[in-house]
Amino acid sequence: MFARKLIPIFLCAAACVLWAGTKCRAEDSPLAEMEPDVAKEFGAKLTELLTKTYKDLPVKVDPDAEKAVGLLNPNAHQGIILVPLKGFREDRDTKDSEKDRGVGLCYIFMSPEFNPLVDGKPATDKQLRKLKFKTEDEERDITCLVCSVKHAEGDDWQLHVYSGGNEPLSKSSFEEATDAPKADLALTIKDVKDNKATLVINMFGKYCVTIPISHNAKKD
């Protein structure tokens, strides 16, 4: 059954985004796959900054920046990086997914141009957990998401997305992927329209889940 196949994955670390359903055209979004070394480097820096800045994260994640993946807008300093939980594999125990907040899955760091949506509207500053990230050229705001997997009931396994508080900003159910990439981890974007988009998280070329986000990317 689908649920039995799904169970081993949800305790795994991370997620990758997929071209699920209708593929987004190149002109819809300037976001492209980030070079692995860049994702690892900045994933490690952002994770260190997050854990030093905040001691009260709603869900515990033991991150593995070596597995980080990302999307980058080559026209501007804009992007999204996902850092998964350590032990990324398909055959992990799933008992912690029954806890109130589920089991930690990953951190997601994003430029504010891609902030999460709450009930179809951009999350407010009070709802978001942010970092001040300094580079050689500037200081930028980075939005931080903490994601967990929660077993709701029966075959319903959900991604819960937290940021500034202890209640999830959004919940979405995992589904079987119809057009998944072969990589265990990948990030992409779809359904770009009216400054909104869908971040689709895919695992092991089999399963996917979505996060609604803003999409105010600079195109040129």
111-164 pLDDT, tens digit each:
999 999 999 999 999 999 999 998 877 899 999 999 999 988 888 889 999 999
Residue 191 lies in a domain: no
User: C-alpha distances in angstroms, 184 versus 16, 25, 92, 170, 201?
Assistant: 7, 23, 15, 24, 11
Tally of domains in the chain = 1
Asked if 122 contacts 128 with a C-beta cutoff of 8 angstroms, the reply is no
Residue 156 lies in a domain: yes
User: C-alpha distances in angstroms, 13 versus 18, 27, 218, 220?
Assistant: 16, 32, 31, 34
Residue 208 lies in a domain: no
Domain span at residue 143 reads 2-13+30-173
**Distance (Å, whole) CA 200 – CA 187:** 7
Please give the model's pTM, rounded to 2 decimal places: 0.85
Highest averaged pLDDT of the listed ranges 42-46, 173-177, 189-193: 42-46
Cα first-last separation, the chain: 46
- Predicted local distance difference test score (pLDDT) of residue 188: 79
- Predicted local distance difference test score (pLDDT) of residue 120: 94
**Distance (Å, whole) CA 88 – CA 12:** 5
Residue 88: pLDDT above 60?
Answer: no
What would the pLDDT profile of 4-31 be if each residue is shown by its tens digit?
A: 344 343 333 333 332 333 343 334 889 9
Residue 128 lies in a domain: yes
Listed residue (127, 53, 52, 45) closest to 81, CA to CA: 45
Residue 55 lies in a domain: yes
Residue 112 lies in a domain: yes
Percent of all residues in the chain with a pLDDT value above 90, rounded to a whole number: 55
Residue 96 lies in a domain: yes
Residue 197 lies in a domain: no
